[in-house]
Structure 1
Amino acid sequence: MTTSTQPQAQAKRDEHTQPQAQLAVFDMAGTTIDERDEVYRVLRESAEREGARFSDEEFQKWMGTEKHWAIRNLLTIGGVEATDELVDKAFAWFRDELARTYTANPPSPMPRIEESFAALRAAGIRVGLTTGFSRDIADLILESMGWTVGGGEECTIDVSVCGDEIPSGRPAPDMINKVMEITGVDDPAAVISVGDTEVDVESAQAAGAFSVGVLTGHLTKEAFAAKNADAVLELAADVVNLPQVAAQ
């Protein structure tokens, strides 16, 4: 399976003509977990405390991306020379502050998402999580919510892939491709990818997956429509109602 760092434009597809789903891939923060936007508060502060200044619109472009890369770009557009030393320093602060925040006030599952995970897996559809978090932060979140990863019936999801485990983060398709590789799903048309940011949609399109935007983040239906998302749902849990899922 190949990887790419450039998202490919893709026209909106009809959900009624898609093959039955074999795999559902979900973003974490803002999609399947409610962490009260702490990640974006801490991400923004990690760059601003080094002197960077940028608009809300400029900041939003980096939501959902791998955080080390996001910090480097936020420093640059914020007028600060993003040396490797400074980026590493800002990222270390980001990671430590986010871990402290999540330990003090753990995230919670989005409404009905755990029931939807169980329903998907019971229907034979594998479930994966992808995130721009590093593995240590992702595991902290999963542990705090009691979510387990593995192929057993007692597990919450089948697999999780983090931004520091692949060559390129979103909007590249690498995380989705990695989940497909681990779960043995070869047909991207049988993959549903769900997220709350523009780069979630772009990553799905680059992978050839069915892209679903959810309205639990900062984007509107119109914003997702402008990105040619294949479907827009109120909640990630509603993915069970898509025709390629409900028909099973």
Structure 2
Amino acid sequence: MTPQYRLAVFDMAGTTIDDRHEVYRVLRGSVEREGACFDDATFQQWMGTEKRSAITNLLRIGGVDASDERVEAAFAWFLAELTRSYTENPPVPLPGIEAALDALRERGLAVGLTTGFSRDIADLILDRMGWTVGPGGHTPTVDAVVCGDEVPEGRPAPFMIQQVMERTGVTDPGQVFSVGDTAVDVESARRAGVLAVGVLTGKLSRADHEAAGADLVVDSVAELPARSDVGGLV
């Protein structure tokens, strides 16, 4: 018998939201300006993770002392530069995303967002797009948003997905699927025991997602409402 899904969890930047990859430009800039050096493959491993942790680890990997003072300075620059960029040129929903989220909620699924952003950056993005959290309000409304600075450990730990489950009252991981554009999104879903869906709107290929252990790979979140042929997904 196919599972009856009750909750869909989505990453933000690169999965549901087009930020023109600004978060990765700014994250990389925040550590390179401190003298860190690393290749693209190394940087990619930290895409989708909580940003303070990413900065700390990228400094160390890049040969720079990750003192508390240096991490704080790099993180402060990251927040200020990303806020400036998002204020001047706000992120927008990826094509078809709002209709897809509406369709999922109309079918009775709760919808949650998770992000490696801190709460202030996530709120800035949501406000610029007119998205609201909780019942009522503008369309689309999501039921919960959990940020990387609100859990004991960010991705690839499962805590953000588990927090969305708690906030939406879904206790069975078998009734949840989680969608993301990075390898750590996939690993986080697997650690949470939920269906791991990779999406190709980020920088990874289908082969990359499959290598990370994705149960399903889709071109875009926009196609999910039509994927009733895939294990009773929706």
Q: In which range does the TM-score fall when normalised by the shorter chain? A: over 0.9
The answer for the alignment partner of 2:126 in structure 1 is 142
Q: Distance in 1 between matches of 2:86 and 2:62?
A: 27
* 4+ residue runs over 3 A deviation: none
8 Å CA contact retained: 2:187, 2:213: no
| 8 Å contact kept, 2:130–2:138 | no
Residue from 149, 168, 175 that aligns with 1:164: 149
Return the alpha-carbon distance in structure 2 between the equivalents of residues 79 and 245 of structure 1: 45
User: Which is bigger in relative contact order (C-alpha 8 A, separation at least 6)?
Assistant: 1
Q: Which residue does 1:56 correspond to in 2?
A: 40
For 1:74, the equivalent position in structure 2 comes to: 58
Letter matched to residue 112 of structure 1: G
Work out which of the residue numbers 200, 205, 215 in structure 1 matches 2:200. 215
TM (normalized to structure 2)? 0.96
Note the alpha carbon deviations across 1:194-220, whole angstroms, 9 max, x for none: 000000000000000101000011110
Structure 2: 5+ residue stretches without partners: none
In the other structure, the counterpart of 1:102 is 86
1:227 deviates by 1.6
How far apart, CA to CA, are the structure 1 residues paired with 2:31 and 2:44?
Answer: 14
SS at match of 1:164: helix
Please say if residues 60 and 66 of structure 2, whose CA atoms lie closer than 8 Å, have aligned partners that are also in contact.
Answer: yes
Specify the SS of the correspondent of 2:177: strand
Report the counterpart of residue 29 of structure 1 in structure 2.
Answer: 13
Cα distance between partner residues in 2 of 1:214 and 1:154: 26
Letter in 2 for 1:232: V
Query: 1:198 maps to what in 2?
Result: 183
1:92 aligns with 2:76: yes
State the SS of the aligned residue for 1:193: strand
Partner of 2:218: 233
Could you say what the CA RMSD is over the residues aligned between the two structures, in angstroms?
Answer: 1.1
Query: Given that residues 179 and 185 in structure 2 are in contact (C-alpha distance below 8 angstroms), is that contact kept between their aligned partners in structure 1?
Result: yes
Cα deviation, 1:200-245, whole Å, max 9, x if unaligned, reads 0000000001010000111101111112201100001222233324
How many equivalent pairs are there? 230
Q: What amino acid is the match of 1:86?
A: R
Percent identical across equivalent pairs?
Answer: 63
TM-score (normalised: structure 1):
0.90
- Matched residues in 2 for 1:149 and 1:82: separation? 36
Find out whether 1:38 has 2:22 as its counterpart. yes
More deviation, 129-138/218-227: 218-227
Deviation by residue 1:117-146 (Cα, 9 ceiling, x = unmatched): 111111110000000000000000000001
